[in-house]
Structure 1
Amino acid sequence: MHENDGYFGESIAATYDESYASIFDSVAVGPTVDLLAELAGDGPALEFGIGTGRVALPLAARGVTVHGIDLSRAMVDRLSAKPGGDTIDITVGDFATTRVAGDFTLAYLVFNTINNLTTQDAQVDCFRNAAAHLRPGGRFVVEVGVPDLRLLPPGQSAVPFHISATRWAFDTYDVATQAMSSNYVTVGEGGQAKHTSIPFRYVWPAELDLMAQLAGLRLSDRWEGWSREPFTNESRQHVSVWEKPSI
């Protein structure tokens, strides 16, 4: 395991694609790639948190030049080993602050990965970093869930999202700090249980808009999902697009 892989080292990378097989399916990822390809146009795209290439590989197959930033060498090693992986330039580093050469028509950050930045300062830095990489008229896209605080009755801080005979998963929330964590308990042979916890910071849509404003970006669109469903007060997630003003 590489020392700087954070929470997505070899033990996670080894089974990541299988654990999230449902969202790697071409039908599931198709609307994501369709919209990102449209927004990228004729220019290159930059993915923050590129991981094992779930989005980057099919986007590159559509003819979009993709560059990726990711902290985990274990994850990107798997991307590079896949068919087409050698066509994607990858920089290992913190996507909140790492700069790469060139400018882009599109930067994007999907699947709740903005929450992997566990402080507000880091999330603000991420928006500034995206803006610094964008050409005038370029766009920054974030896919992230709406915090599930409506599911918390008074005195409760945990929300389960998976329960089976051998695996329990739940999120915990600290409403004072916006800290949260995803927790997984897996029961193996002999009844031995393994607990894994990954920290996050949840963030509200309006808070993201303010971060974008601080970075010189302006909101252009917000949908519930990649097929441009309307975003409503019942939406559990959103896909938001901010634009860098043209000079």
Structure 2
Amino acid sequence: MVDDEDGYFGEPIASRYDESSAEMFTPGAVDPAVDLLAELAGDGRALELGIGTGRVALPLSRRGVEVHGIDMSRAMVARLRAKPGGDAIGVSIGDFATTKVDGTFSVAYLVFNTINNLTTQDAQVACFRNVAEHLEPGGTFVIEVGVPELRRLPPGQSVVPFHTSPTRWSFDVYDVATQAMSSNYVEVVDGRGSYWSVPFRYVWPAELDLMARLAGLRLRERWDGWTREPFTSESGQHVSVWEKLEQSERPAG
């Protein structure tokens, strides 16, 4: 079920997004992210790619940081606008890999696995280049994304379940040859079943670092999460920070 205008995040998803992702709206999930982003923004502006319903943008704005967002889903942005303070945040409707915004920013960020919503490597590379064009020299780009769970796939298996209950089943499907994947949801309400699938492209930390280099950025920090624990081979996610190089620091060619 896909909304032609809003992609995979049209009205049916937007209407229950905050509720279905309630654990990501808790202070424990939001506050450490906002702390880091506010620190990186300093006195400058912040650009959120995939701003959605404002889970991060609104509390960051309340910290005094001017936030501008990009999002393809008008339905999600309508939910942001309906919240207190939502009207004060500028939003450009479009693909965050290519949409241009006026002015420059101290920090840009892309959280909650949203880089994977770009389903080709070319689009992910374009996203880094688009961000680099919007950043001030020395500005930073922050991504929060999971590490692909391929170690959970024995030979011949391509499916990893991540939620099971009497009324809801959720599972990821991986294609390790192409890095394509999808998250799939089956839900039963009042005896009626529904199915929803969203395509993604998973991406490795080292691959992201190369995309950053192509865009004139370099890795500054990589942590296990927002509270800045060390990233290790056992980490299931990472929060990475790249900084925009001065023109004189960029490799020739």
> Is the CA contact (8 Å cut-off) linking 1:45 and 1:107 kept in structure 2?
yes
Q: Report the CA distance between 1:193 and its aligned residue.
A: 1.7
Cα distance, 1:87 vs. partner?
Answer: 1.0
2:3–2:9 Cα contact (<8 Å) kept: no
Separation in structure 2 between the aligned mates of residue 27 and residue 145 of structure 1, nearest angstrom: 18
Residues 184 and 195 in structure 1, CA contact (< 8 A), matched pair in contact too: yes
1:219 and 2:205 matched: no
Q: Kindly provide the CA deviation profile for residues 65-119 of structure 1, in whole angstroms up to 9, marking residues without a partner as x.
A: 0000000000001101100001100000000000000000000000000000000
The letter of the residue matching 2:89 is: I
User: 2:38: which partner in 1?
Assistant: 37
Q: Which runs of 5+ in 1 are unaligned?
A: none
Q: Which residue of 1 aligns with 2:9?
A: 8
1:112 — aligned with what? 113
Map residues 11-90 of structure 1 onto 2, 5 A cutoff: 11-90=12-91
Q: Note if contact 1:2-1:74 (Cα within 8 Å) is conserved in structure 2.
A: no
Residue type of the alignment partner of 1:196: W
SS at match of 2:116: helix
Shift of 1:246: 3.2
CA contact (8 A) 1:49 1:70 kept: yes
Structure 1 residue runs of 4+, over 6 Å off?
Answer: none
CA–CA separation in structure 1 for the residues paired with 2:190 and 2:14 = 22
1:52-76 residue CA offsets vs partner (Å, 9 max, x unmatched): 0000000000000000000000000
| 8 Å CA contact 2:98, 2:127 repeated in 1 | yes
SS in 2 for 1:107: strand
Is residue 2:199 matched to residue 1:199? yes
CA distance in 1, matches of 2:223, 2:50: 21
- In the alignment, structure 2 segments of 5+ residues that lack a partner are 248-253
Q: Distance in 2 between matches of 1:39 and 1:135?
A: 12
TM-score by length of 2: 0.96
The letter for the 1-side match of 2:160 is V
Distance 2:8 2:187 in 1: 17
Using the TM superposition, give the Cα deviation of residue 3 of structure 1 relative to its aligned residue in structure 2, in angstroms: 3.4
For 2:89 and 2:36, the matched residues in 1 are separated by 19
Q: Hey, what does 1:228 align to over in structure 2?
A: 228
Contact 1:2 1:73 in 2 (8 A): no
Mapped to 2, the partners of 1:15 and 1:22 lie a distance apart of 13
Post-superposition offset of 1:146: 0.2
Q: What RMSD in Å do the two structures reach over aligned CA positions?
A: 1.0
Q: CA deviation at 1:2?
A: 6.4
**Secondary structure of 1:156's match?**
coil
* Partner-residue secondary structure (3-state), 2:210: helix
- The answer to whether residue 139 in structure 2 is matched with residue 138 in structure 1 is yes
Alpha-carbon separation, structure 2, partners of 1:149 and 1:3:
32
Sequence identity, in percent? Answer: 74
The aligned amino acid for 1:185 is V
| Equivalent position of 1:209 in the other structure | 209
Counterpart of 1:154 in structure 2 is 155
SS of residue paired to 1:182:
strand
Q: Distance in 2 between matches of 1:35 and 1:79?
A: 22
1:237 corresponding residue in structure 2: 237
SS of the residue aligned with 2:80?
helix
Once the two structures are superposed, residues 136-177 of structure 1 have per-residue CA deviations (whole angstroms, 9 ceiling, x without a partner) of 000000000000000000000000000000000000000000
Structure 1 contact 160–171 (Cα < 8 Å) conserved? yes
State the SS of the aligned residue for 1:185. Answer: strand
The one-letter code matched in structure 2 to 1:53 is: G
**Alpha-carbon distance in structure 2 between the residues aligned to 1:176 and 1:162:** 25
SS at match of 1:59: helix
Q: Which residue identity does 2:53 align to in structure 1?
A: T
Whole-angstrom CA distance in 2 between matches of 1:80 and 1:132: 27
